[in-house]
Amino acid sequence: MVNYKDLGLVNTREMFKKAIAGGYAIPAFNFNTMEQMQAIVQAAVETKSPVIMQVSKGARNYANATILRYMAEGAVAYAKELGCEKPEIVLHLDHGDSFELCKDCIDMGFSSVMYDGSSLPYEENIKISRQVVEYAHKYDVTVECELGVLAGVEDEVASEVSHYTKPEEVIDFATRTGCDSLAISIGTSHGAYKFKPEQCTRDPKTGKLVPPPLAFDVLAEIEKKLPGFPIVLHGSSSVPQEEVDTINQYGGKLPDAVGIPEEQLRKAAKSAVCKINIDSDSRLAMTAAIRKYLAEHPDHFDPRQYLKPARENMKKMYIHKIVDVLGSDNKLG
Ligand SMILES: [Zn+2]
């Protein structure tokens, strides 16, 4: 049993309180590889931003749970080495699908977990969420729960259709589960294909897809019911067109990939939304840089040669999100 405090990590409680009061959101970046971890830490240190490093069940299967936990511990030490005296780094489980998985992560040093019972019947979701909260709070670990279903595919989490969170349920759910934050569904979606072309309109000038707007009226209703309560948005990559274009230019095939426009995320970050999850954008930034590098240097085969520009490209993207979209820069301490 390891407590996250011994690893130099923090939970989300203070971070969220400040984010809501300050009208910004904390970035939650998924990671699976060393290069992603390095890029996240470099970006957070350079911008003096708190950051949530999150691990999905798929990431645990890919990289190994023990390795990821040591990488998070290493992230804290690395941030200090880069000159950040008191880094604010959360290690968070993304989409925990059982009490056992959440417990396992808490026991190995996670400072925050998500229990996602959004696909279960309402009462069942409350029951297991409550169980996770009771266990987590014994160790001062914060818990995110979810109400409403997001469309899209994220590792093992997949749904064909989305169901907006019902504002009339949120008070009952938050009170009975005791959760610290609530992930809601207002039209964001997992993956790089967030919307089908028929859900979108096309920009007459560029021919690019324009996704349907987020349901800010539902968000406003939820904020009215739960004033000051931390709200989380999943599936909030914006799928930058330049990365998609680079991938397609150098042999990739991602037709009509579409994400959430950044101005909508900026608007959400100013509300009670205090955690915004970004995963696909990192995947796209990494893949675009690798494809371009390998196409331009067909004789190179040292992974360091193509992973270096990949890491740089991810770092640039993370800094852009922190400074230009979420507004979490210069918010340490
Ligand atoms: Zn998610």
Among residues 305, 227, 213, 222, the alpha carbon closest in space to that of 264 is found at: 213
Catalytic residue among 6, 94, 116, 279: 94
Question: For each successive 10 residues of the chain (333 residues), what is the average pLDDT?
Answer: 94 97 98 97 98 95 90 96 97 97 96 96 97 98 93 64 88 97 93 85 83 93 97 95 96 92 95 96 98 98 98 98 98 92
DSSP 5: G
- Please give the distance, rounded to the nearest whole angstrom, from the Cα atom of residue 188 to the centre of ligand 1: 10
- Please give the distance, rounded to the nearest whole angstrom, from the Cα atom of residue 154 to the centre of ligand 1: 7
Tokens of 295: 């196409």
- Please give the distance, rounded to the nearest whole angstrom, from the Cα atom of residue 189 to the centre of ligand 1: 8
**Length reported for the chain:** 333
Give the C-alpha separation, 273 to 226, whole Å. Answer: 12
- Please give the distance, rounded to the nearest whole angstrom, from the Cα atom of residue 95 to the centre of ligand 1: 6
Following DSSP, what letter does each residue of 109-123 receive, concatenated? Answer: T-SEEEE--TTS-HH
Following DSSP, what letter does each residue of 32-46 receive, concatenated? Answer: -SHHHHHHHHHHHHH
- Please give the distance, rounded to the nearest whole angstrom, from the Cα atom of residue 294 to the centre of ligand 1: 31
pLDDT at position 158 is 62
pLDDT at position 154 is 63
From first CA to last CA, the distance across the chain in angstroms is 28
**Is 94 one of the catalytic residues?**
yes
The burial of 220, by beta-carbon neighbours within 10 Å (0-12 exposed, 13-18 middle, 19 or more buried), is given as: middle
Separation in Å, CA 178 to CA 85, 101, 103, 125, 284: 33, 19, 16, 12, 36
Give the C-alpha separation, 295 to 105, whole Å. Answer: 40
Query: Strand, coil or helix: what is 82?
Result: coil
Give the C-alpha separation, 20 to 14, whole Å. Answer: 10
- Please give the distance, rounded to the nearest whole angstrom, from the Cα atom of residue 64 to the centre of ligand 1: 20
Give the C-alpha separation, 10 to 93, whole Å. Answer: 14
pLDDT at position 113 is 98
Cα 3 from chain centre: 23
What pTM was estimated for this model as a whole?
0.95
Query: Which residue reads 């069942």 in tokens?
Result: 124
pLDDT at position 116 is 96
Instruction: Encode pLDDT of 183-222 as tens digits.
Output: 999 999 998 888 888 888 888 887 778 888 999 999 999 9
